[in-house]
Copies of this chain bind each other. A is one copy, B any other.
Amino acid sequence: MSRLILFPVPIGADDADISLPPYNREMLNTCHTFIVEDIRTARRNLKRMGYTHPIDDTTFLELNKHSDPEEVSHYLDTLDDNHPIGLMSEAGLPCVADPGNLITDMAQRRGIEIVPLVGPSSILLALMASGFNGQNFAFVGYLPIDAKQRQARLRTLEQRAHREEQTQIFIETPYRNNQLLAYLASHLQADTRLCVACDLTLPTQFIRTLDARQWLDNPPDLSKRCCVFLLYK
């Protein structure tokens, strides 16, 4: 049966043994066609994930914000019983916090079997260690940049954290992390708890939960580091 296989990519650790099961490598070498966001990083990632098939005999199909949906719709045409296609993210789980679902949605509508493989999710690693509710949680992507919209959005998230007991998780462009932390520390309610999870799976990893205001004292330098922010009551 024809299959679309979803390959997670290490998020920080260069060592795939920290974040990928051995089975993933086995599956990787059954695919000679990959749908990827960027061909250069995909080649590098395949290498560190243990791909041994000749790279010059490997087909790459690009799927990113510049892709033409009409063209993308033909990506799955070459898929047959002997030729599964792989979908790779830039980092972490494909189709989580990235727009890969354009292709999985097409595959579902065509009745193609989709095989998701296990791998690292910075969102869930952060949630696990935050101390927050893992029986009810939401990942909401990025907060709005506009000041008024950002404030309104934060109110909604805080209400859901307090009233619905739903942990709220979001991210920021890495070079704006410090500004976001300062904003959260001063704009959240004093009784809201804020967790910052940074450099997950790397030796510099830290995951710390404090009352919102406590982050005002000696804030860590988060600039250009991959971070996840979580809030709860």
Chain B residues contacting A136 (CB-CB under 8 Å) are 138-141
Task: Give the interface segment out of A76-84, A101-109, A177-185.
Answer: A101-109
Contact across chains for B108 and A130 when beta carbons are under 8 A apart: yes
Give which listed residue, B19, B108, B126, B195, contacts A131 with CB less than 8 A.
B108
> Is A115 interfacial (CB-CB < 8 Å)?
yes
Contact across chains for B17 and A114 when beta carbons are under 8 A apart: no
Contact across chains for B98 and A135 when beta carbons are under 8 A apart: yes
In the assembled complex, the Cα of A118 lies from the Cα of B115 at a distance in Å of 18
> Is A144 interfacial (CB-CB < 8 Å)?
no
Chain B residues contacting A132 (CB-CB under 8 Å) are 101, 105
> Is A85 interfacial (CB-CB < 8 Å)?
no
Give which listed residue, B18, B138, B140, contacts A118 with CB less than 8 A.
B18
> Is A86 interfacial (CB-CB < 8 Å)?
no
Please tell me how many copies of the chain the complex holds.
Answer: 2
Give which listed residue, B20, B94, B134, B141, contacts A128 with CB less than 8 A.
B94
In the assembled complex, the Cα of A109 lies from the Cα of B130 at a distance in Å of 10
Give which listed residue, B17, B21, B140, contacts A19 with CB less than 8 A.
B21
Contact across chains for A108 and B166 when beta carbons are under 8 A apart: no
Contact across chains for A104 and B128 when beta carbons are under 8 A apart: yes
Binary interface encoding of chain A residues 10-42 relative to chain B, with 1 for a CB under 8 A from any of its CBs, else 0: 000001111111110000000000000000000
Contact across chains for B137 and A166 when beta carbons are under 8 A apart: no
Contact across chains for B17 and A96 when beta carbons are under 8 A apart: no
Contact across chains for A207 and B118 when beta carbons are under 8 A apart: no
Contact across chains for A208 and B128 when beta carbons are under 8 A apart: no
Contact across chains for A116 and B128 when beta carbons are under 8 A apart: yes
30 cross-chain CB contacts under 8 A: A16-B21, A18-B23, A18-B118, A19-B21, A95-B128, A95-B134, A96-B124, A96-B134, A97-B134, A97-B135, A100-B134, A101-B131, A108-B131, A108-B195, A108-B208, A109-B209, A114-B129, A114-B207, A115-B129, A115-B205, A116-B128, A118-B118, A118-B120, A118-B201, A121-B124, A135-B141, A136-B138, A137-B139, A138-B138, A138-B166
